Amino acid sequence: MINTAPTDLDRVAGFTIPSRHARGRVARLGPVLDRILSAHAYPPVIEKLLAEALTLTALLGATLKGGQGQMTLQAQAPGAIVNLLVCDYKDGELRGYVQFDAERLSQLGKNPTLNALCAKGYLAVTFDQVTTKERYQGIVPLDARSIGAAAEQYFLQSEQIPSLIRLGTRRDAQGKLIAGGLFLQHLPEGEVGRERLHVRLDHPEWQHVEALATTMGADELADAGIPLENLVWRLFNEEPEVRLMGGTELTRGCRCDAAYISQVLAKFPAEERAEMADEDGVISVDCAFCSTKFPLKLTDFVSQPL
Ligand SMILES: [Zn+2]
């Protein structure tokens, strides 16, 4: 038998600190992250960026009402080194991919800022709530030092909620990437954020929990050996009460399917489909998220109604 130390991976857990009107989430990604990354051959800088974005997606997605709905994070920066990054969360399922210019990336240092990667870009955060059928979308510039800092701006500007986001990554002994994150928000009683007229960043109860949370280091966040609840305890053990809200298992999920892709292609005029096909009459479609290949024969479209 192999003796392995217990690990807490691929999970997001919630907590509240009632006396401070604060709520939070902690998340850590291990094998799920590895499965997502292994569908691509990204250089380390892009792997780290996507790992942080996926952790952020898990933290934000876990705040969906009733655990249902979808949360999408999309960074777009036309003409930049990273021109597109998309991640989404649905029922604990995560997926994500990045489009980038490998040539220009290789000319940057090992630790480029977000701004160097996504110059003049913006971040769109979308919550699709199933229970209320509402969609909230906010867009903020990607001029922050990190994707976590950009998301803090989103909550401040679009939702008027003071928020703190910490993200950290590290490689384990096998060289696999582990990512962890902490998300903390101030929601004074009776306020849900979206109806607020102004934000108070200098509220004493928020300043207190924010100061504690900023002491959380990347190494702790991404340490698979520390249970998520212990991270919360380390920060807030002097508070009169910290309520744990249980956790959600995270999985790698992709919703691509051959039937859907076939339906989309069927809507194109036959001549355009013919232009997409190779000399054997096969249109090759790759899922951007999971790299699954869907070869579709031109001859299979003949009988389909337009
Ligand atoms: Zn897919």
Query: Tell me, what CATH number does 236's domain have?
Result: 3.55.30.10
Q: How far is the CA of 150 from the centre of ligand 1 (A)?
A: 27
- Which residue has tokens 């009459």? 281
Task: Tell me how far the alpha carbon of residue 255 lies from the centroid of ligand 1, in angstroms.
Answer: 6
Q: Are residues 29 and 160 in the same domain?
A: yes
Q: Which strands sit side by side in the sheet containing 122-128, from one edge to the other?
A: 135-141, 122-128, 70-76, 82-90, 93-100, 251-252
Ligand 1 geometric centre to CA of 39 (Å): 10
How far is the centre of ligand 1, averaged over its atoms, from the C-alpha of 210 (Å)?
A: 38
pLDDT at 197: 52
Ligand 1 (ion): residues with CB under 5 Å are 254, 256, 287, 289-290, 292
**28 Cα: distance to centroid of ligand 1 (angstroms):** 22
Element containing residue 76 per DSSP (H, E)? strand 70-76
Q: How many CB atoms lie within 10 A of CB 19?
A: 13
Predicted local distance difference test score (pLDDT) of residue 147: 94
How far apart, in Å, are the Cα atoms of 107 and each of 84, 117, 145, 187?
A: 19, 11, 19, 43
What pLDDT score was predicted for residue 109?
87
* C-alpha of residue 126 to centroid of ligand 1, in Å: 20
One domain for residues 110 and 151: yes
The domain in which residue 264 lies consists of 258-301
Per-residue confidence (pLDDT) for residue 6, from 0 to 100: 80
Same domain, 241 and 295: no
From the CA of 279, how far away is ligand 1's center (Å)?
Answer: 25
In a domain, 39, yes or no: yes
211 and 77 in a common domain: yes
Judged by DSSP in three states, 133 sits in coil
* Strand 93-100 to 282-286 pairing: unpaired
Tokens of 35: 């499965």
Total number of domains constituting the chain: 2
Structure token pair of residue 124: 């769109």
List Cβ neighbours of 200 (8 Å cut-off, separation of 6 or more): 162, 206
Distance 257 CA to ligand 1 centre (A): 7
From first to last of the 306 residues of the chain, give the pLDDT tens digit. 555 678 999 999 999 999 999 999 999 999 999 999 999 999 999 999 999 999 999 999 999 988 889 999 999 999 999 999 999 999 999 999 999 999 999 999 888 989 999 999 999 999 998 888 889 899 999 988 899 999 999 998 888 889 999 999 999 989 999 999 999 999 876 555 444 555 677 788 999 999 999 999 999 999 999 999 999 999 999 999 999 998 999 999 999 998 888 998 999 999 999 999 999 999 999 999 999 999 999 988 864 454
pLDDT recorded at residue 196:
53
Q: Residues 73, 184, 225, 11: is their CA dihedral positive or negative?
A: negative
Taking a C-beta distance cutoff of 8 angstroms, is the pair 178, 170 a contact? yes
Q: Which amino acid is at 85?
A: L
Residue 209 lies in a domain: yes
What is the spatial distance between Cα 205 and Cα 150, in angstroms, rounded to a whole number? 23
